Amino acid sequence: MNETTVRPAEQSQTRTAPVGLFQAFLFWLKLGFISFGGPAGQISIMHQELVERRRWISERRFLHALNYCMLLPGPEAQQLATYIGWLMHRTWGGIIAGVLFVLPSLFILIALSWVYIAFGEVPVVAGLFYGIKPAVTAIVVQAAHRIGSRALKNNWLWGIAAASFVAIFALNLPFPLIVLGAGLVGYMGGRWAPEKFALGGGHGAAKASYGPALIDDDTPTPEHARFRGSRLLTLMAIGAVLWLLPMGLLTAVFGWQGTLTQMGWFFTKAALLTFGGAYAVLPYVYQGAVGHYGWLTPTQMIDGLALGETTPGPLIMVVAFVGFVGGYVHPMFGADQAFLAGAVAAALVTWFTFLPSFLFILAGGPLVESTHNELRFTAPLTAITAAVVGVILNLALFFGYHVLWPSGFAGRFDWPSALIAVAAAIALFRYKRGVIQVLLACAVVGLAVHLLRA
C-alpha cells in the first residue's frame, strides 16, 4: 500500500461529489478484471483508487474497515470491497461490489479449467505447466515468509507455528482441529499474557492524508450503517435461507452423499476456516478434496493453484477449479455433459464459499461502524494466524515433494524443476518480482525444457 504522505499543497481541498450506484457499479466491475496480485496487491489497488485518486473514503475509515476484514475468515480483499460498497450504497452496494470482485475470475477459471482438463496432455500446455509447478512451490514458500514476518512477533507465536507444523506434517491432524487448538491457546494466552498476543504488524494507524473524502474521518455514520437488532436477525434469517435452499435442493436431487451436495457442505466448512487467507485454507482443501473425496489429484491441485495465481480476483477462487475438476471427472448429468457438470460444480462451490463473507460484512458492519477504535478480543485470531504459518510451510513441502520427485522418492529427482524453483525464489525474494511475471517466465522456460525432452 502506498503510504507516502501527501503535502497539503498537493491535496485537492474540494469535497468529492456524491457517487451514484451506477458509477460505483462501473468501478467495481473494472476492479474485478484488474485485481491481480493476491490480497496485498488487491488492497493496494483499492487504496490507490478509492483513497488516493477518487477519494471516496478517507485513509482512516479505509484502514478501520480493513482491520475488521483482517480478523474475519474469508478473503479480506473481497470483504473490504463489500464493506466499502455497503457503506456507500447500502446492502445492494455491498452485494454489487462483492459479487463483481468474484464473478470475472469465476468465468475465467471455468474457461481455463476446461482447457486444462480437455487439452492438458497437449505438449504445449503440458510444457507450460511443467514450468509453472516449481514456480508455485516458490510462491507458497514466499507466502509463508510474508505471513510469518508479520505474525510471528515473539517466541510464543513461533512456538504455535512450530506446533501446528508438527501437528499437520507428522501427526496428520485435520486443519479445523489445528485452528480450534490455536484459537484456544490464543484465548488463554490473551488472558494470561496479553502483551504476547496483541494484534500487531497489520494496518493500524493512518499515515497519510489525501484531502477531503466522500466518507471522511468526521462523516457521520449513515442511517443504514447503524446497528439494529431487528436488522441483524433479518440478515441471519436470509442467510440461513440462502444456504438451506440450495443445500436442501441438492440433497433432494442427489442425496446427501452426492458429489454436489458434499461439495456444498465441505466448502461451507472451508469458508469458516480461512483465517489467514487462501493459503491457510489450501491444506484443508487438499485434505478433503484430494485425500478424502478424491475429486482431483495432488498434481491437479498444484496446477489449480497456478491457474488461481494467474487470474484476477481472490486466490481462494482456486476452489472453483477444484469444483470444476471434481464435477467434470464425476459428471452427475451423464458422461456427455461433463462440461456442464464442471461449470455447475464451480458455481455452487463459489456460492457456498463466499456466502458467509457477505453475511459477515452486512451483519457485522454496523457493529464496526459503532466505534472507530481498534477492535478488541483479537488474541485467538493472532494465535490462529501464527498456526497458519506452520500449515502453509507444510503445504510448501507437499508441493515441493510432488514437483521434484514426481514418481516418489524411489523415482528420479527432477533437477530442471529444482532449478526453475530456485530461480523463481530468487526472483520473488531477491528481486521482488511480481507473481504474474514469475509465473509467465517459468512457464516459458518449462515449455522449452519440455519440448527439448520430447
Give the domain extent around 401: 22-204+230-453
Over residues 359-370, the mean pLDDT reads 86
How far CA 329 is from CA of 108, 114, 278, 346, 351, in Å, comes to 19, 11, 24, 13, 20
Report yes or no: 349 and 267 within 8 Å, Cβ to Cβ. yes
Q: How far apart are the first and last CA of the chain?
A: 45
Model confidence at 370: pLDDT above 50:
yes
Q: Is 285 part of a structural domain of the chain?
A: yes
Q: What are the residues whose beta carbons fall under 8 Å from the beta carbon of 142, sequence distance 6 or more?
A: 425, 428, 429
Model confidence at 371: pLDDT above 70:
no
Question: Which helix (H) or strand (E) covers residue 193, if one does?
Answer: none
Per the DSSP assignment, residues forming a β-bridge with 57 are 215
| pLDDT tens-digit series, residues 126-172 | 788 889 889 888 888 887 887 788 778 899 999 999 999 999 888 88
DSSP class of residue 219 equals P
25: nearest Cα among 77, 100, 79: 100
Q: Is 14 part of a structural domain of the chain?
A: no
User: pLDDT value at position 35?
Assistant: 78
Question: What is the pTM assigned to this prediction?
Answer: 0.73
37: left (phi over 0), alpha (psi -120 to 50) or beta: left
Q: Is 56 part of a structural domain of the chain?
A: yes
Over residues 344-354, the mean pLDDT reads 96
* pLDDT band (50, 70, 90) for residue 279: low
Q: Is 15 part of a structural domain of the chain?
A: no
Per-residue cell: 216: 471522511
User: pLDDT value at position 152?
Assistant: 87
Q: Is 137 part of a structural domain of the chain?
A: yes
Amino acid identity, position 33: F
Q: Is 402 part of a structural domain of the chain?
A: yes
Q: Which residue has the higher pLDDT, 353 or 175?
A: 353
| pLDDT tens-digit series, residues 329-348 | 988 888 889 999 999 999 99
| pLDDT tens-digit series, residues 48-61 | 889 888 999 988 78
Of the listed ranges 38-42, 248-252, 332-336, the least confidently predicted one is: 38-42
Domain count, the chain: 1
Model confidence at 200: pLDDT above 60:
no
132: nearest Cα among 347, 398, 417: 417
Q: Is 2 buried (19+), middle (13-18) or exposed (0-12) by CB count in 10 A?
A: exposed
Q: Is 215 part of a structural domain of the chain?
A: no
Q: Is 6 part of a structural domain of the chain?
A: no
